[in-house]
Amino acid sequence: MQAHLDKKCPKAPNNAKSQALQQNIKSTSSDHINEEEQKYLEILLAKALSSAEVPSSFVENPLVIQFFQRLRPSFKLPSKEIITVQTDDNGYHSGSSSEKSVELYKKAAEKGHIASKYELGCCYQHGKGTEKNEIKAFELYKEAAEKGYTKSINKLGWCYYYGIGTEKNEVKAFEHFKEASDKNNTDAIDNLGYCYEHGIGTEKDEKKAFELYDKGWIDIHHLAYCCRYGIGTEKNEIKAFELYKKAADKGHVDSIYNLGECYYNGIGIEKNKSKAFELYKDAAEKGYIKSIHQLGNCYQHGVGTKKDEVKAFELYKKAAEMDHLNSIHDLAYCYQHEIGIKKDEFKAFKIYEEAAKKGYVKSIHQLGYCYQYGIGTEKNEVKAFELYKEAAEKCDIDSIYMLGNCYQYGIGTEKSNIKAFGLYKTAAEKGDIGSKFKLGECYYNGIGIEKNKIKAIELYKELVENGYIEWKKN
């Protein structure tokens, strides 16, 4: 019967068509809309009105309100303030300002619009259009969360996890992620999985983490990570590659980068440095910091592309300005070794110092090296020893080796062959080639240990077989 009353039947009476249409409209009265879809439709409506140059007051027209109520009752037609905010935030009007958005969010929040309280919280948290105030941000997230707004419930979890506007509390973080996850917030599902994976606010349960990553459509990337490292499931690099590819095809930037890593290192697929380069480039153009750094590395060493040290330096500089510690370190290295920029050891030292203060272990080691040899600063072997010791305590292999050197030769500290031997042994067991050679030397000459030429020859033989040293007959 219904098929007979569509456009293909011009003979159908107008009142019959009208009745059928009324039935179809009424059938939507039981529909449901979640907050993510509500927000998406608000943005879509703002875009449509802007592109048609229709004023935001359109949504206050009684006939328009009646139309939307009949079309989809569960969609709450936003106020003109909300439409204006969405227009400004998404750049549909020229001359938009963060300050204006904040004022509009405030007005809408005062009228009880829950999503605006959440957005206003985001503005205060990040200092967007207003002075940064994490306590206010936390309070606004809390107000919206108490009204059941799942984005805010999830955001409160982050606040408790990082101590944003409140004291750190991993148990409360876990509880909020779980509450939002139970309401099917996909970000919260991901966060809850992370909590189970690392034992944050709850007992560690990698199997449960895997199940949660598997549940959320947004968690393909995390699922790939689990398969790659065998977290809560059997290690399967081929499956990890396939999942990274699936997520990358959907535009997930982290997965685009990790897909590049798979091609670069041959994880679940044959090595292909050219493909790796293209994927790093794609993710870098989308602003992904790790990819900007890795792209610099490709240009520096000519991996998957033509070597270009100037481009490498520029990319390291760009990522360093975004506070990427590895890039800050590599930028200093460029200044030290004249890679894509004029040599400037003083500048290199200062940049290493900056990264070292932020706890970057490689830079702590390199700063020690600068003090030991007087690179960009006055020579100071005591400071060098202290820095090597600090980095060695953080398991930096190069620093463990250099600390062994300091003890063997009395650099910045008293000589101790026993301590030197112990440090060389520790680094050698972690695979450090220089330490294996020094360990062989210790066994051969009895440095910090009884002479044992058999062990020494075994170590030298291993290094020869792997092409690290040449065997010379005396």
Using the predicted structure, report yes or no on whether residue 96 has a pLDDT greater than 50.
Answer: no
With a CB cutoff of 8 Å and minimum separation 6, the contacts of 27 are: none
- Let me know how long the chain is: 474
* pLDDT computed for residue 338 by the predictor: 97
Which of the four pLDDT bands, split at 50, 70 and 90, describes residue 72?
Answer: low
With a CB cutoff of 8 Å and minimum separation 6, the contacts of 119 are: 85, 89, 105
pLDDT tens for 429-444 read 999 999 999 999 999 9
Which of the four pLDDT bands, split at 50, 70 and 90, describes residue 7?
Answer: very low
* pLDDT computed for residue 185 by the predictor: 86
Using the predicted structure, report yes or no on whether residue 78 has a pLDDT greater than 80.
Answer: no
Asked if 116 and 105 count as a contact pair (C-beta separation under 8 A), the reply is yes
* pLDDT computed for residue 14 by the predictor: 43
Ramachandran angles phi, psi of 17, nearest 5°: -60, -40
* pLDDT computed for residue 184 by the predictor: 84
**For range 230-234, the mean pLDDT:** 87
Which of the four pLDDT bands, split at 50, 70 and 90, describes residue 232?
Answer: confident
Highest mean pLDDT among 65-74, 126-135, 218-227, 379-388: 379-388
Domain ranges across the chain: 1-29, 416-474
Percent of the chain with pLDDT over 90: 60
* pLDDT computed for residue 27 by the predictor: 42
Asked if 100 and 94 count as a contact pair (C-beta separation under 8 A), the reply is no
Which of the four pLDDT bands, split at 50, 70 and 90, describes residue 9?
Answer: very low
Which of the four pLDDT bands, split at 50, 70 and 90, describes residue 127?
Answer: confident
d(CA 271, CA 260): 10
State the chain's mean pLDDT as an integer: 84
